[in-house]
Amino acid sequence: MAFLSTASPASATALKAGAKGRTGRDAVQALARQKSLEKKSKTYKLKLTHLAVFTQQLASMLEAGLPLVAALEALQEQTEDQVFRIIIRDVRTDIAAGNSFSAAVKKFPNAFNTLFVSMVEAGEASGGLAEILGKVASYFESTVKLTKKVKSAMTYPIAVIALAVILVQVLLIFVIPVFAEMFADFGAKLPKPTQALIDVSGFMRSNIIYIIVAAFLAFKGWVKFIKTPKGRRVKDEMLMKLPVFGNLIRKITLSRFCRTYATLLRAGVPILRTLEIVAASSNKVQVEEACVDISRHISAGGQVSDILGSNVFFPPMMRHMAKAGESTGNVDGMMQKTADFYDTECESIIAALTSLIEPMLIVFLGVFVGGIVMAMFLPIFQLSSVVGG
């Protein structure tokens, strides 16, 4: 006997209702997600790498003759970052409504930094937006390139040091107590390095919770402190005084100062506004204070080279280069050459650090971890005298 499977009208209606319910839930979830992304876009922090790519692509499209709205629409469609896609959409909508490009990007200060906004304003005022965007894209790319080199040079030693610290903690908390119990059975006085290590291990085992809480509170306190004006000064001065790395940080700061200054001047940004942007983008107290002094000096009819010569943070070469630029009317060109010089210096330091990192880490691990191992095995090496005692 053959059975025919047929759906009743009631079951068909139920299936349609279920499909409709799922569609409704999907629509609600999609709407909630869209609202969440739009809310996030107001405070979204765009990485400099992505901003550099966006700026370069936009400059290329504008140079090819594509209208600004059409170029933004193309970039909106091809970007994979959903939050940034919403930002581009809102910027494009503002421009289509009659607002300027600079006014539209100002609504997203975390995505588009002060330098980008000021360069866009200069491009709109001069009528050469595509050219200005090309310059700022080159600036962003140079900054990203140098940052990547520093990060790649620092990743390996930081990872090794972190693993060494974790290894030492494991030894102190779990391994050394086993040796301590074994040595206690000898009933003799242990060598001072071994006894000191056992005491440290016992202290850590007994107070591990307090140590973790104290370390966490100290970290939170330090983070809160460096957000204050005094804390920022202390942090920046400490960074500049670090052995080897302090010199690298200083040269990177000088390079960024010169390159930002030159890029903004070439774009036609007024010098006082240029100094404000340079100070804001430096993230260093020394540069911020120097920019304030330069602004006051220029307002009184002075020259940039005067402040650069009197401020100990800036080397004499910068003063001579700035003075030569002022005498020839080519300050931006001289600053650009100075930035290129310091970029070369930074690359040389990074290359030297990369070649020295491995032997330095070997010495560090040998002294740090090897010292612990030697201290624990020292009583075993003197086992006969310990047992005899």
Say if residues 259 and 336 touch (Cβ distance below 8 Å): yes
pLDDT in tens, 139-194: 889 888 888 888 887 888 888 888 888 888 888 888 888 888 877 776 667 788 88
Residue 131 lies in a domain: no
Joined tokens for residue 146: 């140098």
Mean pLDDT of the chain: 83
Note whether 107 and 154 are same-domain residues.
no
Q: Tell me, what's the pLDDT at 104? A: 92
The answer to whether residues 104 and 217 belong to one domain is no
- Across the chain, which distance is largest between two alpha carbons, in Å? 107
pLDDT band at 385 (very low <50, low <70, confident <90, very high): low
AA identity, residue 124: E
Q: 40 pLDDT band (50/70/90 cuts)?
A: confident
The pLDDT, as a whole number, for residue 1 is: 42
Predicted confidence (pLDDT) per residue in 276-287, tens digit: 888 888 888 988
Domain assignment of residue 181, yes or no: no
- Residue 185 forms part of a structural domain: no
Q: Say if residue 236 is in the same domain as residue 365.
A: yes
Instruction: Please give the residue range of the domain that contains residue 306.
Output: 142-173+211-378
The answer as to whether 85 is a domain residue is yes
Domain assignment present for residue 388? The answer is no
- Same domain flag for 155 and 108: no
Does 3 score more than 50 pLDDT? no
Tally of structural domains, the chain: 2
Judgement on whether residues 64 and 102 belong to the same structural domain of the protein: yes
- For range 351-362, the mean pLDDT: 80
Specify whether 168 is located in the same domain as 84.
Answer: no
Amino acid identity of residue 86, one-letter, is I
Q: Which of 69, 97, 112 is the last residue of a domain?
A: 112
Would 31 be classed as within a structural domain?
no
Within 8 A by CB and 6+ apart from 334, the residues are 321, 322, 324, 325, 328
252 within 8 A of 146, measured Cβ to Cβ = yes
Shared domain check, 289 and 245: yes
Q: Are both 231 and 337 inside the same structural domain?
A: yes
End residue of a domain, out of 91, 112, 133:
112
Q: Please check whether residues 106 and 147 belong to one and the same domain.
A: no
CA-CA-CA-CA torsion for 175, 180, 185, 188, nearest 10 degrees? 140
Whether 319 is covered by a domain: the verdict is yes
Residue 339 makes CB contacts below 8 A (sequence gap 6+) with 255, 256, 258, 259, 262
Q: Are residues 291 and 347 in the same domain?
A: yes
| Band of pLDDT at residue 5, cut at 50, 70 and 90 | very low
Residues 162 and 275 in one domain: yes
Q: Does residue 179 lie in a domain region?
A: no
Q: Write down the pLDDT at residue 93.
A: 93
CATH number at residue 86: 1.20.81.30
Single out the residue in 70, 96, 112 at which a domain terminates: 112
On whether both 231 and 341 belong to a single domain, the answer is yes
Note the pLDDT of residue 197: 85
Per-residue model confidence as pLDDT tens digits over 91-124: 999 999 988 998 999 999 888 988 888 888 888 8
Q: Compute the Cα dihedral for 115, 247, 239, 233 and give only its sign.
A: negative
